[in-house]
Chain A
Amino acid sequence: MRTLQKILYVEDEPDIQAVARVALEMVGGFTLEICSSGQEALESAKVFHPDLILLDVMMPGMDGLTTMRKLRDQPGMAAVPMVFMTAKVQPEEVQEYLAQGAKGVIAKPFDPMKLSEEVRAIWEQDHG
């Protein structure tokens, strides 16, 4: 089984970016690329070739769901699991993300010490 190494994180909030960087790089040991917008992510994904993509939902410009759809349309991205990390986690919202093809949903506020484990669990479930 391929191991999870490269994660692309799309998040407009710099403070949360900082927390996620420590949580995923230092605690989880992943290689992290962070983009501040959906548009940026579309460009970055072409060169970064992530194993998994973490997405915020509410972002200025392009929202998380649109970003996910556009990313998936890019060559070689169809099989990359996309995971939402969001504060919008009402049951019907979560249903919607999963229906749109997300592989998992992580609620904010997240536990930074456990974030890596959660991401890895989703990855393993997808590749299991």
Chain B
Amino acid sequence: MAMLEVNNLKTHFKTQDGVVKSVDGVSFSLEAGETLGIVGESGSGKSVTALSIMQLNSKPPVEYPEGEILFEGQNLLETSEKRMQEIRGNDVAMIFQDPMTSLNPVFTVGNQISEAIRIHQKVSKHEAKEKTVQVLRDVGIANPEQRAREYPHQFSGGMRQRAMIAMGLSCNPKVLIADEPTTALDVTIQAQILELMIDLQEKYGTAIVMITHDLGVVAQLADKVMVMYAGRAVEQGPTDPVFYDPLMPYSWSLLRSLPRLDTAGEVRLLPIKGSPPSLIFLPDGCNFSPRCPFVKDECKNIDPSLEEKRPGHAAACILSADELEESKQRVDAELGVVEG
């Protein structure tokens, strides 16, 4: 049994303008010690997926018309809030993007971490304090006894994110959901945090869901990847095939639109035209069709579902793998790109 299994998850929000289908039929599973990278643009449903797993979307307006989220076989969509509070932070923990807004400015960092420990474990105040210092040391904060007594504003950005990770890991969770944990940080600090997460995963065998828009971070960390677009998973598979042989035009375009450190400056970027669709007024047919470089007439009528095109590698596109390959070469030839 997988540690975490999400089946056909639908997270909809009822608004005055209509139903916003933020997540519309997403499935994945995650084993212990594995890392899943979820990539996509803002508004593609990455964070809502994370918040759905944690059951942190405010209800109403949120609705889960279909789907299940199985954590160790238990459907989180049907568990009581009381039981959820036992799971949240203890078995499934989350690291948020912006450490400044997710830490409470009026309590010391140590106070906030030991609060999490005291809620989930039967320990004395003193033991919780010791554990707090221990986790702060684990995440590489120098002088943890002193630092535990300080307030968030006395920490630098990178240290705050470390403190967030320490809090997330304080109860040794089985699943850690990291929602853009390094987006607000500088690259040298990002490298520190990512290395830390890899080390901790090796040490504790945590399953990680890594949400990011940085394909480089995914390439570095993830075992498998899910690409999201307009609330749906449009491509899913092990990291290598998704990067080297993307089967969905969106993933391919995304990779081609990025300036890369290893090739930047030699080739002209291939931008994706237009911008992501509104989730209330989705285009007819395939959601990506208005922006797709390989679009055909049928694409405006057929809404492709996620299908396995190669073993373990699924994509939502009506083009077969061979047709796609042809189209890629055609677009490259038009641009005068020489394969290097």
| A joins B in a complex | no
List residues of B whose CB falls within 8 A of some A CB: none
List residues of A whose CB falls within 8 A of some B CB: none
